[in-house]
Amino acid sequence: MIMEEIIQQIVNGVSLGSIYALIALGYTMVYGIIKLINFAHGDIYMIGAYVGFALTTFLKLGFFPALILSMVICAILGVIIEKVAYKPIRNSTRIAALITAISVSLFLEYGMMYFFKPDTRTFPSLLPDKQIKIFNTDAVLDIKNVYIIVVTISLMLLLQYVIHRTKVGKAMRAVSLDRDAAQLMGIDINKTISNTFAIGSALAGAAGVLVGTYYNSINPLMGVVPGLKAFVAAVIGGIGIIPGAVFGGFFLGITETTISSLGGSLYKDAVAFAILILVLLLKPNGFLGKDVKEKV
């Protein structure tokens, strides 16, 4: 019985963690390249869920077409946000950029409420309602968990490929390591920043559709808490470091479900932020971050 409980919680934790990881990847990539905490990122995830909702409810698309289209639309939205809101203030202070990001976040949340009503909507059931027993125990694996985990892992592998093997990815790494030197190699900074926003936002859009199908309900403020949690995940792993975001996401997801299953579900958010405080105190560069000393 105990064993089943543990397996069940691990499955839940990994599913939740993969959502955090998907969102955290966008945070960390954008931070890596322009040193901006893009607080509007959680809202792109919300928009992804709404786009998925519209495509499946009104256009009756299936899960995968909706997932891919939603990723594309979020990518475009991310690029537009960068061009309209962040590019004009790229050379101003960090605090100005941060305030802009918060404004964009509020704009998206309340814009959605204004145009598409603040009500919670029911996301259609897209995936078969099937449960699989794990290893002949009583622990069950919902097919939805399988979809979440498989889609997330595939996207991460794809991202890994893009970043290490393609020109677009190499340009992104070069710009985040040294922007001036990257320009001297002939890399177009504006294009590379746009690409980063596109990829990060597409991942958030995918997370939105996955969560919509998993919990069957979406609302305009659904991005706030997962957005903050994903930010915590990115910091835990070391912000700006891509494997760190994945690690932080899974770590946070598994920790939260463990706390909940031990009867502390009321405190799971508090625990997440307590972990953030501990990480900032003890390992401010994150678990996978290097201790970099500022050169004077």
Partner 1 sequence: MLELKDLHVYYGGIHALKGIDIKVNEGEIVTLVGANGSGKTTTLRTISGLETLKSGNILFKGKDLKKVTASEIVKMGISHVPEGRRVFADMSVYENLEIGAFTRKDKSEIEKDIQNIYSLFPILYERKNQSASTLSGGEQQMLAIGRALLSRPELLLLDEPSMGLAPLIVKDIFDIIVDINKKGTTILLVEQNANMALQCANRAYIIKNGKIELEGKASELLNHDEVKNAYLGG
How far apart are alpha carbons 86 and 29 in whole angstroms?
15
Binding of residue 268 to partner 1 (CB under 8 A): no
Range 185-224, binding partner 1 (CB under 8 A): 185-189
Q: Based on the number of CB atoms within 10 Å of its own CB, is 176 exposed (0-12), middle (13-18) or buried (19 or more)?
A: buried
Burial of 134 (0-12, 13-18, 19+ CB in 10 A): middle
Under rule CB under 8 A, residue 183 binds partner 1: yes
CA gap 259, 272 in Å, rounded: 10
* CA separation for the pair 60, 182 (Å, rounded): 45
| Least separation in angstroms between CB 184 and partner 1 | 5
Would you count residue 178 as binding partner 1 (CB under 8 A)? yes
Question: Per CB under 8 A, does 167 bind partner 1?
Answer: yes
Residues 21, 250 contacting (CB under 8 angstroms): yes
Q: Of residues 181, 225, 274, 278, which one binds partner 1 by CB under 8 A?
A: 181
Segment near partner 1 (CB under 8 A); pick from 9-17, 129-137, 172-180, 256-264? 172-180
Helix, strand, or coil here: 121? Answer: strand
**Taking the complex as a whole, how short is the minimal distance between the CB of residue 180 and partner 1, in angstroms?**
6
If one asks whether residue 80 binds partner 1 (CB under 8 A), the answer comes out as no
Please tell me whether residue 102 binds partner 1 under the rule CB under 8 A: no
Q: Which residues contact 31 (CB under 8 A, 6 or more apart)?
A: 37, 38, 234, 239, 240
- Minimum CB separation of residue 166 from partner 1 in Å reads 12
184 touches partner 1 (CB under 8 A): yes
Is residue 165 within the footprint of partner 1 (CB under 8 A)?
A: no
Residue 22 or 241: which CB sits closer to partner 1?
241
Nearer to partner 1 by Cβ, of 47 and 242: the residue is 242
Which of 3, 84, 177, 274 is in the footprint of partner 1 by CB under 8 A? 177
Cβ atoms within 10 Å of 92's Cβ, excluding its own: 10
The whole-angstrom separation of Cα 46 and Cα 74 is 10
Q: Which is nearer to partner 1, 60 or 290 (CB)?
A: 290
Nearest to 45 by CA among 195, 162, 160, 211: 211
The first and second tokens of residue 8, run together, are: 């069940």
Quick one: 133 or 164, whose CB is closer to partner 1?
164
- The amino acid occupying position 3 is M
For residue 138, state whether it binds partner 1 (rule: CB under 8 A). no
Q: Is 95 in the site for partner 1 (CB under 8 A)?
A: no
Residue 290 Cβ vs partner 1, minimum distance, rounded to whole Å: 9
- Residue numbers of the site for partner 1 (CB under 8 A)? 167, 170-171, 173-174, 177-178, 180-181, 183-189
